């Protein structure tokens, strides 16, 4: 069994038949997955989607791109399927929302995570200089995962020092930069989790197609080969990590 710790197949605009996607997921031995919210609507959709299924958990949050439109999700957190707050964070690459608004939204949602004792799915892009001081201001009360991590070995180390898990997806299968590949190889096995971010970031050799949870197996197989491990071994290790991350043991 392997786990997809981050996808968006629950969203109403997901462009592929969900029944077909779930069938292929099971054929690929994907045991469960997390439907992750990016705004209030998609967070509500994640809750509703996972309420009807036994192979899905939900995360609720407002992505930094969407924070300009508000970030009130307090009333969603108590739903039975919710196991995390996310994806939330800072994104200065596009700056679809002003930086100060992103920071206020991040702090508010981190307070919610602490209040409900939930892990956090972090989206951080070109913003770690502002992210780490906010994270550290919570004095060790936060836990979670750096989703779709593509940054430097230095920021990888900072995340590991803070007890965070590292989410790795299809980007890692086609990035050409040797420094990036070296960074991925240095993620400790006890901190590594796999994800798809479906419908985005489809791994090689399927780039150009809509991504789906079944493809997390391709990510796992790629990294198993790089680390001279069997698929079964890396699947078990990362699935155990996912269960620990989300408190599902």
> Each residue's pLDDT tens digit in the chain (249 positions)?
999 999 999 999 999 999 999 999 999 999 999 999 999 999 999 999 999 999 999 999 999 999 999 999 999 999 999 999 999 999 999 989 999 999 999 999 999 999 999 999 999 999 999 999 999 999 999 999 999 999 999 999 999 999 999 999 999 999 999 999 999 999 999 999 999 999 999 999 999 999 999 999 999 999 999 999 999 999 999 999 999 999 997
- How far is Cα 118 from Cα 114, in angstroms, rounded to an integer? 7
Q: Which CATH number goes with the domain that contains 203? A: 3.20.20.140
pTM of the model: 0.97
Q: Which domain holds residue 196?
A: 2-245
Is 117 buried (19+), middle (13-18) or exposed (0-12) by CB count in 10 A? exposed
Count how many domains the chain has: 1
* Residue 249 pLDDT: 77
Measured CA to CA in angstroms, residue 138 lies from 133, 143, 155, 210, 223 at distances of 9, 10, 18, 38, 33
């Amino acid at each position: 069994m392997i786990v997809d710790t981050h996808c968006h197949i629950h969203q109403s605009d997901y462009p592929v038949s969900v029944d077909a996607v779930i069938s292929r997921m099971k054929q690929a031995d994907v045991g469960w997955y997390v439907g992750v919210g990016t705004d209030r609507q998609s967070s509500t959709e994640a809750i509703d989607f996972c309420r009807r299924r036994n192979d899905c958990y939900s995360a609720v949050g407002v992505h930094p791109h969407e924070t300009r439109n508000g970030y009130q999700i307090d009333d969603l957190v108590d739903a039975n399927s919710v196991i995390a707050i996310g994806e939330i964070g800072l994104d200065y690459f596009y700056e679809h929302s002003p930086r100060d608004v992103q920071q206020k939204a991040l702090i508010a949602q981190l307070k919610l995570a602490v209040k409900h004792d939930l892990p956090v799915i972090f989206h951080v892009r070109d913003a770690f200089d502002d992210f780490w001081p906010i994270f550290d201001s919570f004095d060790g009360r936060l836990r979670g995962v750096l989703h779709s991590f593509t940054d430097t070995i230095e920021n990888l180390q900072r995340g590991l020092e803070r007890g965070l898990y590292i989410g790795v997806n299809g980007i890692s299968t086609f990035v050409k930069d040797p420094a990036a590949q070296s960074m991925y190889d240095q993620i400790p096995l006890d901190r590594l989790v796999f994800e798809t971010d479906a419908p985005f970031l489809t791994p090689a050799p399927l780039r150009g197609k809509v991504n789906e949870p079944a493809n997390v197996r391709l990510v796992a197989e790629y990294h198993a080969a790089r680390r001279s491990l069997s698929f079964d071994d890396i699947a078990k290790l990362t699935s155990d990590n996912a269960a620990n991350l989300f408190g599902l043991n």
